[in-house]
A and B are shown apart, each in its own frame.
Chain A
Amino acid sequence: MAGILIIAHAPLAHVLRACAEHIYGNELERVIAIDVEPNAQHSTIIAQAVLALTTLNKQNSALILTDIYGGTPSNIATQVAQQHNVPLIAGINLPMLLRAITYRKQPIHDLIKLTIVGGIQGVIQITPNS
């Protein structure tokens, strides 16, 4: 089962995690959220992320989700992902996170595809007839 690490602009990371936990109705195992405050030191966040990955990687495989590509959380996540050879996806939304949690027992390459598709499929224009 893949561990999931969320690195995003504060308070998005822990709020998304809290929403997923509310929806699943039980404690989410191996999902860690790291909020990046505006004045955060990169080195502090990197240290937190590395510690989180150490915890999550115990059962093999982990996935990092970040909010917007090119933002500070994403840049930090990229550094950590490359150093530790962990897949990283930007563009986290609640549908994506739910999809990642639902399919986390799948092989990591399948999980990556399912997670991305989940994020995209969650974007829908709602019209009166839909």
Chain B
Amino acid sequence: MEKTIITVTNKLGLHARASAKLTQLTSRFASEIWITRNERRVNAKSIMGVMMLAAGIDTQLILETIGSDEKEAAQAVIALFESKFGEE
């Protein structure tokens, strides 16, 4: 399992478009991918699950990837967050 803390840095946070980009990315990996905010842990392959986190800018999230491609999945998700979802 890979476990990392990621921070939301884009202005609009994990809004619908960003959540869609995230879930389109995560669904390419075989591993389970989970994101936790406080006590809420959601499947990062579900657009509505991700949106339920209501993660605005500066929110800290825990990313977990579990499976055969867990390292690649974690790196890809981190890169997406760091790129601010291509929005800025």
Contacts and interface: CB of A to CB of B under 8 A. Distances in A.
Q: How large is the interface on A (under 10, 10 to 19, 20 to 34, 35 or more residues)?
A: 10 to 19
Interface in A108-123: 118, 121-122
Interface in A41-99: 95, 98-99
B48 A122 contact: yes
A122 B47 CA distance: 11
Interface residues of B, number: 9
A93 B22 CA distance: 22
A118 B48 contact: yes
Contacts, number: 22
Contacts of B16: 23, 98
A102 B27 CA distance: 10
Nearest to B46: A102
A49 to B, nearest CB: 27
Nearest to A126: B54
Contacts of A25: 17, 20-21
Interface in B15-69: 16-17, 20-21, 23-24, 46-48
Interface of A: 22-25, 95, 98-99, 102, 118, 121-122
Given A98-B47, A102-B23, A102-B47, 13 more contacts: A22-B17, A23-B16, A23-B20, A24-B24, A25-B17, A25-B21, A95-B48, A98-B20, A98-B48, A99-B48, A118-B48, A121-B48, A122-B48
